[in-house]
Structure 1
Amino acid sequence: MTLTYDDIAEQQADIVRLLLHHIHAPLPDGRFIRGVLPSPSPAAGVRIVTGPQRDGVPDGLTAWEIPLRTVDDAEELTGAHDVLGLVRALNTGTQIFTSSRVGTVMGMTLIQVDPARVVPVGPGERDNAFTILRTLTYPWTEEQPDPRLRGFLLQGSDRMRLYADHEEDTDVVAADVRLSGALTALLAALPSLVEEVERAVPGDIGDPHCSRLIDLTDW
């Protein structure tokens, strides 16, 4: 079976679902997952953003770009648990990377990860406990919600950027939301809001992970 970008988009969404609780659960070095970004199309990858739990300053964050095509089989995608294992290993002790693999994106340090050079940290007892409890309370289903969450980025104490696609369209739309806003009303209206092209922020938004950005912080 030949992998398509639809397959990659679905895998990105699955990774988001698994890693969400790590905005509260620390990584081995005490840092937290601050975001999961869909690598710009057509790249088959995901960018995991880590940093201090309450740091919204971009230069305090690191984005780890992890390819989703496996080393052994280009037609098989890296699983969400494997991505978490790599992120844990990357956030354990001091890591050294060649300058060719280090760049910047949105003010954050961007590191291109070679999975073949990283020994993943496997799941522990708490991971397995979380898997059991999550499965019993929120059974896993292949049916994704609409809009489908492809990524997120915590940007500060009261701001988060959501990355979503809508109605089987893999084109990613980003939406900035205020965490202290009317969340129930926002979530109910989000499917229609992401379709409103007139809400798009004009000009260069400086974010390569989406095709357009809408500002819902005052919604």
Structure 2
Amino acid sequence: MDEEVADQQAEITRLLIYYTQTPFVGSSCVRGILPVPGPGESTRIVTGNESAHVPDGLTVYEIPLRVDEDFLHVYEIAAILRAVHTGPYTAPSVRARTVLGMPLVQIDTSVVETAGESPESRAFIILRTLVHPFTETKPVPRLLGFLCREPDLLRLYVDTKNIPGVLAVDVRPSGALTALLAALPSLIGEEGRVAAEEADPHASYRVDLTYW
């Protein structure tokens, strides 16, 4: 397996293991993640209800890892998987196959319509990235907790070397997540952003990034 493909496969596995216990849509859970044999650039994700085992009640979905020349983001893979479970999907040009006794459905990403991410999904992206950043160094800031305050308002409880105690950081999941997460370490240390927090006993200070 190509090294880039292996890295992508490993990252998909890191994300989707959360859905082995919690359904990602309806009653469908992830029951397996399979590396595609040979040199192919795709991943295979096995889904079914939380009590299903091979082969009964399980389906394997093969999803390409690239669109044109670019790798799909791991969250785009999850969105495709969610889309094929929430609406009709047919691939008449693909002959029915099985793998390990399970039906294999090869997904054509060009005909799958993915819905926009929900605030809950985007909040999950923020939390997961803070807990498992794309780096081998210790996460900064360190996530100590969180609270979903409104449909589009997430409070992060973090700590950092430059501020004593716990810092409450309010963000909107609907915003530009990539830019926010990249800038978060510097934003929470900017003079004038940090204020005392008197209403929330779980934090000593707060930073409002809801309109950043």
TM-score, with length taken from structure 1:
0.57
**C-alpha distance in structure 2 between counterparts of 1:60 and 1:133, whole Å:** 32
8 Å CA contact retained: 2:89, 2:112: no
Change (3 A) 1:122 1:37: farther
SS at match of 2:31: strand
**C-alpha distance in structure 2 between counterparts of 1:38 and 1:131, whole Å:** 24
SS at match of 1:25: coil
Does the alignment pair 1:118 with 2:112?
yes
Question: Which one of 59, 74, 82 corresponds to residue 88 of structure 1?
Answer: 82
Runs ≥4 in structure 1, deviation > 4 angstroms? none
Identity score, percent: 42
Task: For CA contacts below 8 A with separation 6 or more, give which structure has more relative contact order.
Answer: 1
Does the alignment pair 1:32 with 2:26?
no
The Cα of 1:69 is off from its aligned counterpart by: 2.0
**C-alpha distance in structure 2 between counterparts of 1:137 and 1:8, whole Å:** 23
Deviation track 1:3-26 (CA, whole Å, cap 9, x = no partner) reads x81111111111111111111232
Gaps of 5+ in 1: 144-219
* One-letter amino acid of the structure 2 residue matched with residue 85 of structure 1: A
SS at match of 2:94: helix
Matches within 5 A, 1:177-188: none
8 Å CA contact retained: 1:29, 1:93: no
Question: Which one of 11, 14, 26 corresponds to residue 14 of structure 1?
Answer: 11
Q: What value does the CA root-mean-square deviation take over the aligned residues?
A: 2.1
* One-letter amino acid of the structure 1 residue matched with residue 54 of structure 2: V
Does the alignment pair 1:107 with 2:131?
no
Does the alignment pair 1:129 with 2:129?
no
Question: Which one of 2, 5, 20 corresponds to residue 2 of structure 2?
Answer: 5
SS at match of 1:59: coil
Bigger Rg, which one: 2
8 Å CA contact retained: 1:101, 1:112: no
Change (3 A) 1:5 1:77: same
Change (3 A) 1:104 1:54: same
Deviation track 1:89-134 (CA, whole Å, cap 9, x = no partner) reads 1111343332634210001110111000101233222222222222
Gaps of 5+ in 2: 138-212
8 Å CA contact retained: 1:49, 1:63: yes
8 Å CA contact retained: 1:101, 1:113: no
Matches within 5 A, 1:41-52: 41-52=38-49
**C-alpha distance in structure 1 between counterparts of 2:111 and 2:41, whole Å:** 19
SS at match of 2:56: helix
The Cα of 1:68 is off from its aligned counterpart by: 1.1
Matches within 5 A, 1:200-215: none
**C-alpha distance in structure 2 between counterparts of 1:20 and 1:137, whole Å:** 15
